[in-house]
Structure 1
């Protein structure tokens, strides 16, 4: 009898991809509680956390030999948990509360990902989202945020009303919030 608990994740993954059910069981045993704790911290609901972990392992089992993993098994599984949590959050339409939970979770130092890489990627996603704003809105937003000009200064510079400046900035923030919420969820 093989001692599966002594195998590395890489070895277990290879055995699993070749149909070894015991390797799957060891992966499940090794990661279930860790993934459950991670999901529970974010969702704040034990039953939902159990459901998410089960869905991840069912999907993992279904993929079997077709499974293509370019990162470590732990990173793959934690990422899968994050994607499933994102699905739960989208369906509940309370993403703002969960974004805060994810932010706090990440700030507590319990995130698996490297913070500097995440920060760079989020900055890239934000800059990209700003570039996709309608031109006039983007100009007003950049003058406000990058140049730190007041609404009055922007209005004078662009020969528009203070009210228009305020509305453009508010609209830009709404658009960016929607576009960036998925990126934030994926990286935290």
Structure 2
């Protein structure tokens, strides 16, 4: 994995798009900062598809090695975050089909361990009542289909809009909207509207 030298000033103030341009020009430090910035996010997402930590780490490292090798032919993405999420999902899918964990026609499994490895606790768990709702949410989300679980993850934990989710999951925008609506309706039916409201408000999606 690319790493910034310990004596180098952090590049946190530089926007993703500028880092991407710098790394395409051959700046390893810029790619190292992108790797540092997105490693945990990619690992969290990748871990929903495989419990094998080494596989996830290998896929992330291979992804950054590949984009470094192909930097001169890469275009400037509208969103670096979206590009990396799409890329890691596709890489994990290829790895699992190559290892015969999946047939080419099969969907990726999605492990709905959404809460616990993400900073949602600091956003909404401020009292015992909120903790109770979060525990209920943990129990309810696995009852959704795996596509619905992934859409919930991408919408509420990665804050992607329907168009971006469609790109990540290779679905139509209409299919994403329909699956998301049905997922929220099922959560509401399982519990009540306050549960969904709590989730949405807690991560800043209700403006």
The worse-fitting range, judged by mean Cα deviation, of 14-23 and 48-57 is 14-23
CA separation in 2, counterparts of 1:35 and 1:70?
Answer: 17
Matched, 1:110 2:120: no
CA separation in 2, counterparts of 1:100 and 1:16?
Answer: 32
Structure 1 residue runs of 4+, over 6 Å off? none
CA separation in 2, counterparts of 1:16 and 1:99?
Answer: 33
CA 1:121–1:107: 2 relative to 1, 3 Å: closer
Matched, 1:120 2:179: no
Whether the 8 Å contact between 1:43 and 1:98 is mirrored in structure 2 is no
Whether the 8 Å contact between 2:49 and 2:110 is mirrored in structure 1 is no
Q: Secondary structure at the match of 1:98?
A: coil
Say which structure is richer in helix. 1
In the TM superposition, residue 58 of structure 1 has moved relative to its aligned partner by: 0.6
In the TM superposition, residue 122 of structure 1 has moved relative to its aligned partner by: 7.5
Give the unaligned 5+ runs of structure 1.
124-188
Larger radius of gyration: 1
Q: CA RMSD in A?
A: 2.7
CA separation in 2, counterparts of 1:36 and 1:78?
Answer: 10
Paired residues, what number? 123
Select 2:90's aligned residue among 67, 72, 83: 83
CA separation in 2, counterparts of 1:58 and 1:100?
Answer: 26
TM-score by length of 2: 0.51
In the TM superposition, residue 27 of structure 1 has moved relative to its aligned partner by: 0.8
Give the unaligned 5+ runs of structure 2.
1-7, 112-145, 176-207
What does 1:1-188 align with in structure 2 at a 5 Å threshold? 3-95=10-102, 96=106, 98-99=108-109, 101=111, 103=147, 105-110=149-154, 112=158, 113-115=160-162, 118=166, 120=172
In the TM superposition, residue 7 of structure 1 has moved relative to its aligned partner by: 0.2
Q: Which has the higher contact order (CA 8 A, sep 6+)?
A: 1
The worse-fitting range, judged by mean Cα deviation, of 67-76 and 5-14 is 67-76
